[in-house]
Structure 1
Amino acid sequence: KNAVWNMEPAPGSYGPLDKNPVSFSNYTKDILLMHSIFIHSISHFLYINIFFIISYQRYRLALWQGYRLYLQQFCTQKSPTNDQSGVQNLLSILGFVHILMQAVLPDESLCWILYNGTFSSLHMYNICRFLMSAGHASQVLEYLLWACTCLEISVPLLTANFLPWRATLYCAVCECYFHDCASVQAEVFARRALGKISELAKLEEITGSQVPFETQQAYKEATIKLAVMVFKRSVYEPRRKPKGLFRPKQKSNLKELQLTPWPRTPTERILMEMFEGKAARFLAVLEALEDSSVRPLQTGMPDEFEVQDVVLELISAGTSLLSVSKY
């Protein structure tokens, strides 16, 4: 009766230890059960926040389109990003979704959860986009990078069907870098993403089957979107003056240039080298004018003369693209 009983089972009875503490690849049923429990316990809160995010985005769009006075008279809108606790709540949701996505990732049969399930890159993207619009790009960058990683690692998602979504996530990461004035990292990541898309296209060619027109369009659109991210930096950087170097400003008469054929300026030469078609070039112009380090449409002309020239050339190119059909 004085014996000491050891109530804990031997370590071996628990089964082999998994090196990844959040890997549930051998417990698919457990993951689905966790998925169900999570839906009942937190999805109400999650969907309320996502619903608010979507409605708030529409509110901001209405403001941008000139309905400010009407909205101020009839609507009141309070953003959860007005206080730090609201931001922290959204970041906590992102952190939890990140953990659950990490748990689901090893099981290919659960790839649908990564794409558009409750713990999905879609919800992660929507929350990140909302926080980016409120000036919290640096805090959501890691989550967008993780969403990209999930789509690159999950074999069932490595198809052209999911290419538009991959391109959307890639561009969101680039925009995070641009928001933080890290244009070098943005261009590096965009070029890496272009390489990933090229690898996927080569795999399609290896199969030998005829590529459908819709798939070709998906590759084309994804390539254009990421090439635009490269253009946003490459159109400015070669023209910037190194510190300590004096370079006399050369004035160009943009009115006279309107009568000459493309390419009339260095900016238009880059546009013609990188993009085919009027729509792609115009998209590149708009994105370059939205560069967070320049933003002439919101903050006025930048101080650097060389950058001012680029801005004027972009505006001239955009005007020409809208008025002349052949460029």
Structure 2
Amino acid sequence: MVNVLFSAKPASWDEYEAPLHAAFEKACIDAQLGTDLPPEDVDYIVYAPSGPVSDFTPFTKLKAVLSLWAGVETMVDNPTLHVPLCRMVDHGLTESMVEWVTGHVLRYHLGMDRFITAQDGVWRAGSAAPLARDRKVCVLGLGALGSACAQSLVHLKFDVHGWSRSPKAVEGVTCHHGDAGLRDALADADMVALLLPDTPATESVLNAESISFMRRGGFVVNPGRGPLIDDDALLAALDSGQLAHATLDVFRVEPLPKDHPFWAHPKVTVTPHIAAETKAGTASEVIAENIRRGEAGKPFLHLVDRQAGY
């Protein structure tokens, strides 16, 4: 029997208890699962930073920490964590992210805001959108989420370019990497979607210089991480017309403070970190599979590279 500690907000336990038990049963894992197990008996921790555990020292038998979150920037530097850390790559979350990104790219491509906000009796003929193949969309970040979103846009026939810190290959996507590749990825882009992890190497990747590479009047969607964008540079680009609009789901401080200029800016849409969230049913299957692999001596899925930060 393996002992699995669930360490997250109490409300999460209500959501996850039944799906985890079902996933363990399906994977033929004999497990004791709970929120209050003796630390010295715990083999695995199903973990969120919002839970009660921050010091892993008492967990002397611990084999791995299995995150419920896709982002692990608050975990990688924990000095007490010396076992494998696995981030959550949940196909339910991925589907949600693909839907959100694709929806907002299409919203901008088709110019839907013009018609939603201008029901004023004026017949605006001649304002049809170009074909998707004539729009360049850049996806910054080609991990599991970024690649899935990029391929969804490829299927709609957009001219999709992607950028990552290290070389990647995604079918149908023109891939760029490294500092030198960022300019080419963003050059004349009509739309940019940010799906990078939050690391020192990616902070403010969208700044005054990189925004200037885009086609004038472009659009930004950010469901990735707040620190990926230089807020002041974004506001300046919106005010100058270099950018036409930005839809932001994540922010440097959350909830976004009421006095933040994003709330009142006419060219910013704020959504409250709702682009995608981990789904208890599918996430439980991922956790069960990783515990099965751990017990079988196989490599863990979605293992975090501590030096890279994701």
Higher share of residues assigned strand: 2
Q: Radius of gyration: which is bigger? A: 1
Point out the structure with the larger helix share: 1
**Is TM > 0.5 for Structure 1 vs Structure 2?**
no
Structure number with the bigger relative contact order (C-alpha 8 A, sep ≥ 6) is 2
- TM-score, length-scaled by structure 1: 0.24
Give the TM-score of the pair, scaled to structure 2: 0.25
